């Protein structure tokens, strides 16, 4: 599950990696981004992507089917991140993993405004409040971090 997938920066490689044995579900509220994702998938002849124009707060693709629920620099953008994470909890398998890649809460020459970014601690707290167990919080360069969790 690529939640807040944009035009598929991570969706396309995930679909290529899993091949015809799996499905990558992708959702974004931006219809033009989903159209670009669909175009890229068609160019690469990837038939294993299910892309939907929808807000993440209303998206549950399935119950207990996801190996990975992935957020790439979007958790802070959702109007109700708690609801989005509760939806992830519904979709993820008992053996699955939640992965949140996001912006550090510090000034940077690019990226979203500092006022809307989540610190590592805030992101981990939101994830734990959705009944996930945080496994790791990694520093991944000067501007980003990753939080991984399991149900």
- pLDDT reported for residue 47: 97
Mind listing the pLDDT tens digit for each residue in 75-123? Answer: 999 999 999 999 999 999 999 999 999 999 999 999 999 999 999 999 9
Distances (CA, A) of 128 to 10, 88, 124, 147: 24, 12, 6, 11
- The pLDDT assigned to 23 comes to 97
Task: Indicate the SS3 state at residue 99.
Answer: strand
Cα-Cα-Cα-Cα dihedral sign, residues 142, 117, 71, 14: negative
Q: Domains in the chain and their CATH numbers?
A: 1-54 (no CATH), 56-151 (3.40.50.150)
**pTM (predicted TM-score):** 0.94
Average pLDDT of span 45-49: 98
């Amino acid at each position: 599950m690529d939640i807040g997938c944009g035009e598929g920066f991570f969706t396309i490689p995930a679909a290529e990696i899993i091949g015809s044995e799996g499905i990558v579900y992708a959702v974004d509220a931006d219809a033009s981004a989903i159209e670009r994702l669909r175009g890229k998938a068609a160019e690469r002849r990837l038939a294993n992507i299910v892309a939907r124009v929808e807000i993440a707060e209303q998206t549950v693709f399935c119950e207990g089917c996801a190996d990975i629920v992935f957020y790439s620099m979007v958790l802070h953008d959702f109007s109700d991140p708690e609801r989005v994470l509760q939806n992830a909890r519904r979709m993820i398998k008992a053996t699955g993993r939640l992965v949140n890649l996001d912006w550090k809460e510090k000034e940077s020459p690019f990226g979203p405004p500092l006022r809307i970014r989540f610190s590592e601690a805030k992101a981990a707290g939101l994830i734990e409040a959705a009944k996930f167990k945080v496994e790791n919080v990694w520093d991944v360069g000067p501007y980003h971090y990753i939080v991984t969790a399991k149900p």
